[in-house]
Amino acid sequence: RQTEEQNLYAEPGMTACGYQVPIRVNIELEAEIDRVARFRPEGVGLLRTEVYFLDGSHAASEAEAEDQAESPNGSGRSHDQTRFLQRAAQLAGDDYLTVRLYDVGADKLPSYAQKEENPALGWRGVRILLENRSLLRAQLRLILEAVRNYPCKLRLLIPLVTSLEDVLEVRAELDTLLESFPHMHPELGIMVEVPSAVVMVEALAEVVDFMSIGTNDLTQYALAADRSNPKVAGYFNSAHPAIWRLIHQVVKACKKRDIMVSVCGELAANPQAACILTGLGVSSLSMAGPYIPGVKKILRSHTLELMEKQALSILKVQTRSEAEKILLYF
């Protein structure tokens, strides 16, 4: 039985009819890399880098950012981040290494941060990076330096995008930096995790190379339910009909522009939901390592045709309970 499971880990993500859906891994700590390797992810779909920011002993000051910029392989935190990126690059092999730029704020708060009344609607994600350009440039440079000699395909992911400007400004910084890395061609993409990004998705699809749907925050913002408040846990439900429709809009816009769209929020780790996401046309899924075997197993048990049929049905339901019933079909 052990061998049977291990064989399954080694196979690519695929439906019963042979349609491939790469299953990649979400990683946030260096210590996880060894542990997830045995699940044989097909690449890294989300590398969270916040940990290099959240350690209170390393306040993310401008001064430190400049320090990093000057010496990206220098001592301390930037060195740790370089090693983290390189180990993740090894894990990715020649597949994608998707590195998310610092997504600090709200539920990911450094201890020195000022308290805000509405942190989820506050100073977080790309907003911090755009206000703190030297930090943005330092992290971009550190990433490029770290993986320049690895065969992985580098993707850079911008967190909490709410407008086109967010992307264009990061793109301009990246383009300037790339003049010093003429052999590197990283893709630039966005986390789709705020409803305004879904409303603007067609325009955003014109200026990005890929998208990744963050269903955790998308659920929180679309349903006005704090993802970490147990009092509204019943409202925080990624299987809500509105969430399926939002995801569908994103997939349609990406297909139209022929760019890849993955889901890296926790919804992707739910085996039944993974079938619906595949049926909706999502190109790949990314999840914490231990969920990979369960998702691979269920995908191999059903045809794409069935997943597409159920995906169409879920787009038509009006209530959460109807949506949940469709999920139970798998």
List phi, psi (to 5°) of 24. Answer: -110, 175
214 binds Mg ion (CB under 5 A): yes
Judge contact between 274 and 327, C-beta under 8 A: no
CB of 192 to Mg ion, least distance (A): 10
Beta bridge partners of 287: 25
Residue closer to ligand PEP, measured from CB, 48 or 240: 48
Q: Is 193 annotated as a binding-site member? A: yes
- Among residues 152, 254, 264, 275, the one annotated as catalytic is 264
Buried b (16+ CB within 10 A) or exposed e, 148-178: eebebbbbbbbbbbbeeebbebbbebbeebe
Which residues contact ligand PEP (rule: CB under 6 A)? 48, 103, 193, 214-217, 264-265
Q: Does 166 bind Mg ion (CB under 5 A)?
A: no
CA nearest 38: which of 279, 289, 281?
289
Nearer to Mg ion, 42 or 193 (CB): 193
Stretch that binds Mg ion, among 41-49, 59-67, 182-190, 207-215 (CB under 5 A): 207-215
- CA-nearest of 200, 214, 105, 223 to 157 is 214
48 contact, one of ligand PEP, Mg ion, none, CB 5-8 Å limit per kind: ligand PEP
Q: Which of the 8 DSSP states describes residue 98?
A: E
Binding positions for Mg ion, 20-59, rule CB under 5 A: none
Q: Which of the listed partners (ligand PEP, Mg ion, none) does 278 bind, with a CB threshold of 5 to 8 Å by partner kind?
A: none
CB 314 within 8 A of CB 235: no
Count other Cβ atoms within 10 Å, centred on residue 134.
16
Distance of alpha carbon 290 from alpha carbon 297, whole angstroms: 13
Tokens of 253: 């816009």
| Rg, the chain, Cα only | 19
| 15 vs 215, beta carbon nearer ligand PEP | 215
The answer to whether residue 152 is catalytic is no
Was 173 annotated as part of a binding site?
no
Asked if 217 is part of the footprint of Mg ion (rule: CB under 5 A), the reply reads yes
Extract the tokens encoding 267.
């919804």
Residues in contact with Mg ion, counted by CB under 5 A, come to a total of: 3
209 is in an annotated binding site: no
Q: Which one of Mg ion, ligand PEP, none interacts with residue 95, CB within 5 to 8 A by kind?
A: none
**In the complex, least distance from residue 67 CB atom to ligand PEP, rounded to whole angstroms:** 26
* Positions in the binding site for Mg ion (CB under 5 A): 193, 214, 217
Instruction: Write out the catalytic residue numbers.
Output: 264
Binding-site residues, in ranges, read 48, 100, 193, 216-217, 227
